[in-house]
């Protein structure tokens, strides 16, 4: 049995909360969460992997228990989030690591790989997209905001921040929703309801266009550096389509792609199966 420690790091005067488990000398594994969650999403996965890996799962800036500085002092862009996580990994001694990327964690982690390819031992992408064909029509309202960042288009996106939408993200595409604990989406809803959190998330919706613009660079990184790659995908995800998972094999012919009959938050229903896939992949 391995215990999980709950820690804080001071990264350039910004407090970053993180979960840590496993032996310090074991192979390193960085877990990067997505919208609108936090490292809490890894609560079932971490204990299943801690025997073999030194695991660290931070909350991204503006999420979970990490600081949410004011928008007047911190620009909420994916470049800036990646800057903080890059410094965080350096501070905790993660100089060579595999990473698990999900949703927003993917453009964050792929930026780290672009900047420091020598640090990346392997990549596991769980519904973490890097291809245009992986984007569903569910992105249309956000795309409209990219094309016309008007107040009306920004306000229209507030529907994506409601309790009902958050719960739907967890349950959509899940054959048996009784398997989805309400704790995850209730906690996310709590964080989203903090003063100012809505504007932070709307800023990030707007900046997500920068991730799509970087897709060619991410794909070139895959072709050039050929990191060992595993895609574990909830095939019923309403945002990131199975075609996005299959597309990795275009640039990484040796990539492993596995689909699970579940939705966006695949760990809520398939943590054991995904942990088994990760262990076999990384140990090989």
Q: How many residues make up the chain in this entry? A: 284
Residue 270 is among the residues annotated as catalytic for this protein: no
Query: What is the DSSP track for 154-201?
Result: HHHGGGGGSHHHHHHHHHTT-S-GGGS-HHHHHHHHHHHTSTTHHHHH
What distances in angstroms separate CA 134 from CA 35, 45, 209, one per listed residue? 17, 25, 14
Token look-up 């959509």 returns 172
Residue 100 and residue 203: Cα distance in Å, rounded?
A: 24
Closest C-alpha to 220, from 252, 180, 263: 252
> 71 by DSSP, 3-state: which?
coil
Catalytic-role residue among 33, 172, 264, 270: 264
Catalytically active residues, by annotation: 264
């Amino acid at each position: 049995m391995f215990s999980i420690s709950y820690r804080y790091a001071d990264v350039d005067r910004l407090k970053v909360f993180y979960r840590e488990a496993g032996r310090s000398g074991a192979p390193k594994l960085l877990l990067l969460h997505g919208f609108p969650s936090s490292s809490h999403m890894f609560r079932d996965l971490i204990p299943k992997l801690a025997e073999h890996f030194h695991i660290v799962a931070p909350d991204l800036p503006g999420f979970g228990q990490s600081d949410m500085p004011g928008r007047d002092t911190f620009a909420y862009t994916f470049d800036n989030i990646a800057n903080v996580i890059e410094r965080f990994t350096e501070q905790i001694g993660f100089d060579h690591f595999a990473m698990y990327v999900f949703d927003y964690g993917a453009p964050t982690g792929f930026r780290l790989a672009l900047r420091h390819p020598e640090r990346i031992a392997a990549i596991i992408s769980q519904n973490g997209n890097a291809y245009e064909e992986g984007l569903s029509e569910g992105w249309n309202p956000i795309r409209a905001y990219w094309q016309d960042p008007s107040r009306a288009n920004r306000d229209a996106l507030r529907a994506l921040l409601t309790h009902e939408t958050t719960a739907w993200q967890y349950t959509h595409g899940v054959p048996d929703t009784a398997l989805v604990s309400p704790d995850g989406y209730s906690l996310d809803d709590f964080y989203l309801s903090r003063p100012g959190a809505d504007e932070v998330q709307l800023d990030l919706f707007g900046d997500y266009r920068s991730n799509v613009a970087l897709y060619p660079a991410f794909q070139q990184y895959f072709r050039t550096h050929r990191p060992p790659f595993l895609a574990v995908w909830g095939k019923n995800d309403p945002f990131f389509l199975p075609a996005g998972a299959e597309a990795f094999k275009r640039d990484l012919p040796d990539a492993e792609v596995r689909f699970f009959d579940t939705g966006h938050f695949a760990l809520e229903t398939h943590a054991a199966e995904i942990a088994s896939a990760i262990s076999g992949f990384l140990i090989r």
